[in-house]
Amino acid sequence: MPPLHEIAHLAHVELRTPVLDESVEFFTRYLGLTENGSAGDSVFLRAWDDYEQITIKLTGHATSGVGRTNLRAASPEALQRRVKELEATGRGIGWADGDPGYGQTYVFTDPDGHEFGLYYESEWYTPPAELAPSLKNQAQAYPSHGVAVRRLDHINYLGVEPVVNRDFLRDTLGALVTEQIVLNDGTVAGSWTTFTNKGYDAVYTRDRTGTPGRLHHIAFAVDTRDGILRAADIALEQGVHIETGPHKHAIQQTFFLYVYEPGGNRIELCNAGARLVLAPDWQPVNWSEAERAKGQAWGLKTIESFHTHGTPPVEEAS
Ligand SMILES: [Fe+2]
């Protein structure tokens, strides 16, 4: 198994939307992201504390869902080492030009077919004068509107078999499994993994429809729990659909709010407090069906749509 920290962090994610203009408005007016160029049917958006060029690549498409998830390797050598292992799995697609501001990117898929890009070369963001921060240790001025999310936090894929996908990330990229849901029959219904010292960066939960390659949600980090409450108030004012929360997850103890962007993709605003995974010999925390049935940390029952809504939408399997 490769060592932890070969992957520096989850980088930018491509989201697809059938209503590009409305989605851009959600990400800029509600979340407080800044536009940073466009190419073809894609608009590049960035969170204010992202040192790289792009946080979200929003692509106009026939339907919703996730496109390529980009990861930054820890070094040029780590990139070469990971590519060698990815190639050996037969899931490599090959090298491609990166998005604007990024170097050569190795494209591959997980067993479910979610597309990933792995790169090292990255051109740091330099803000224009009107977006320059007061303090030089910050990527961009703090936005005075919307939720003003700091950065992308994690991505939660739907997977036909979560364990197969998370084992792939573990065995090829060195992801550490931190928590998981283990059903009474031993099946892993959800798995949380990290590339860093955060509790989790990439999550797989089981797709009840059995459809491969779908998205459950992407999450943005908000500095405080109060910021999550404020995000709920702003959602109410702006007509943004709140699915559930604010509340606190039992798994990972994250304080959360879930909303839908106009394209249908689920977006989480999250605050994981000061929690870090520092132990090199961390063992996965297993949650049972009985424990899950208790609901979230303070007793909120998990909303039914959490088990049924994914993107792109599909017909529910009978
Ligand atoms: Fe999440």
Domain CATH code at residue 303: 3.10.180.10
Answer whether residue 161 is part of any domain.
yes
CA-to-CA separations, 135 to 126, 131, 192, in angstroms, rounded: 13, 12, 35
Residues with CB under 5 A from ligand 1 (ion): 156, 219, 268
The domain containing residue 52 runs over which residues?
A: 7-126+148-308
Cα(111) to centroid of ligand 1, in Å? 21
DSSP assignment, residue 182? E
What mean pLDDT is predicted for residues 239-266? 97
The fraction of the chain above a pLDDT of 70, given in percent, is 99
Question: Is 131 inside any structural domain?
Answer: no
Q: What is the pLDDT of residue 154?
A: 98
Ligand 1 centroid – CA 135 distance (Å): 30
**160 within some domain:** yes
How high does pLDDT run on average in the chain? 96
CA of 192 to the centre of ligand 1 (A): 10
CB count within 10 Å of CB 62 equals 7
Residue 318 counted as domain residue = no
Q: Is 238 part of a structural domain of the chain?
A: yes
Residue 116 lies in a domain: yes
Asked, for residue 203, whether it belongs to a domain, the answer is: yes
Task: Give the position of tokens 């078999």.
Answer: 161
What digits encode the pLDDT tens for the residues 155-187?
999 999 999 999 999 999 999 999 999 999 999
Q: What are phi and psi of 168, to 5 degrees?
A: -65, -45
Residue type, 112: D
With beta carbons less than 8 A apart as the criterion, state whether 126 and 133 touch: no
Q: At CA 230, angle to CA 224 and CA 231, rounded to 5?
A: 95
Q: Residue 246: is the preceding peptide bond cis (ω within 30°)?
A: yes
* Cα–ligand 1 centroid distance for 153 (angstroms): 8
Number of domains within the chain: 1
Residue 21 forms part of a structural domain: yes
Give 112-152 pLDDT, tens digit per residue: 999 999 999 999 999 999 999 999 999 999 999 999 999 99
In contact, 116 and 109? CB cutoff 8 Å: yes
What is the whole-number distance in angstroms between the Cα of residue 202 and the centre of ligand 1? 9
φ, ψ (nearest 5 deg) of residue 40: 60, -125
Evaluate if residue 318 carries a pLDDT over 50. no
Distance 88 CA to ligand 1 centre (A): 31
Sequence-distant (≥ 6) Cβ neighbours of residue 111 within 8 angstroms? 91, 159, 161, 164, 165, 168
